[in-house]
Amino acid sequence: MSRDDGLDPDPPIDRRRTTRTDGEPAELQLYTADQAAALLQISPSWLRKKASGRQVPCTFVGRYLRFSAADLDQIIRAGTRPATS
């Protein structure tokens, strides 16, 4: 169905944010440990171990371990080290 008012019914979503560009709540993308590990290019077992020890940010949906884009950003930032000379 098309709209005649000329407004974009679904503005673009930045999945790293929890709100859409028009201020409305966005769909939140959650990743499994395997998916998150693949994105980070690390071992899924390392990621699960760190998450179970609460050493990296994560989300539990019931008993299921998940990672948001914000969690992945924090993991990356926590691992950033300055260059040494």
Q: What is the length of the chain?
A: 85
In a domain, 58, yes or no: yes
For 48-59, what is each residue's pLDDT tens digit?
999 999 999 999
Q: How many angstroms separate the CA atoms of 17 and 14, rounded?
A: 6
Q: How many angstroms separate the CA atoms of 27 and 30, rounded?
A: 10
CATH number at residue 46: 1.10.10
In a domain, 10, yes or no: no
In degrees and rounded to multiples of 5, residue 31 shows phi and psi of -115, 145
Structure tokens at 5: 């008012």
Residues 52, 58 contacting (CB under 8 angstroms): no
Q: How many separate domains does the chain show? A: 1
In a domain, 8, yes or no: no
For 3-53, what is each residue's pLDDT tens digit?
455 554 554 444 444 555 566 556 689 999 999 999 999 999 999 999 999
pTM over 0.85: no
Q: How many angstroms separate the CA atoms of 58 and 15, rounded?
A: 16
In a domain, 4, yes or no: no
In a domain, 71, yes or no: yes
